[in-house]
Amino acid sequence: MPYLIALCLGLSAGIGRAETDHAVILVYHHVSDDTPASTSVTPAQFERHLEFLEAEGFEVWSLPRLLAAVFDHAEPLPPDTVAITFDDAYESVFSVARPRLDARGWPFSVFVNTDAIDAGHSPYMDWNDLRALAEEGATLGNHSAAHGHMARSKPGESHSAWQARVSADIDRAHHRLTVETGREPELFAYPYGEDSLALAELVESRYRWALAQRSGPVGSLTDPLSIPRFPLATGFASLDRLELAVRSRPLSVRRIETGAVGERGDIDSIQFSLDAEGFRAEELGCFSGTGDPLSFESTNERGDSLLLRIDVVGIGRPGRNKVNCTAPASDDSGDFYWHSFQWRIEP
Q: 253-345, what's its fold?
A: Immunoglobulin-like (2.60.40)
Give burial (CB, 10 Å; 0-12/13-18/19+) of 47. Answer: middle
CA distance linking residue 317 with residue 306, whole number of Å: 28
Q: Does domain 16-250 have CATH number 3.20.20.370?
A: yes
CA 160 from chain center: how many Å?
27
DSSP designation for 316: -
Residues 6+ apart with CB under 8 A from 197: 5
pLDDT in tens, the chain (347 residues): 233 333 333 333 333 444 588 999 999 999 999 999 999 999 999 999 999 999 999 999 999 999 999 999 999 999 999 999 999 999 999 999 999 999 999 999 999 999 999 999 999 999 999 999 999 999 999 999 999 999 988 889 999 999 999 999 999 999 999 999 999 999 999 999 999 889 999 999 999 999 999 999 999 878 999 999 999 999 999 999 999 999 999 998 888 888 877 777 888 899 999 998 899 999 999 999 888 999 999 988 666 789 999 988 877 888 889 999 999 999 999 999 999 999 888 87
CA distance linking residue 280 with residue 303, whole number of Å: 15
Predicted TM-score (pTM) of this structure = 0.91
CA distance linking residue 332 with residue 328, whole number of Å: 8
Residue ranges per domain, the chain?
Answer: 16-250, 253-345
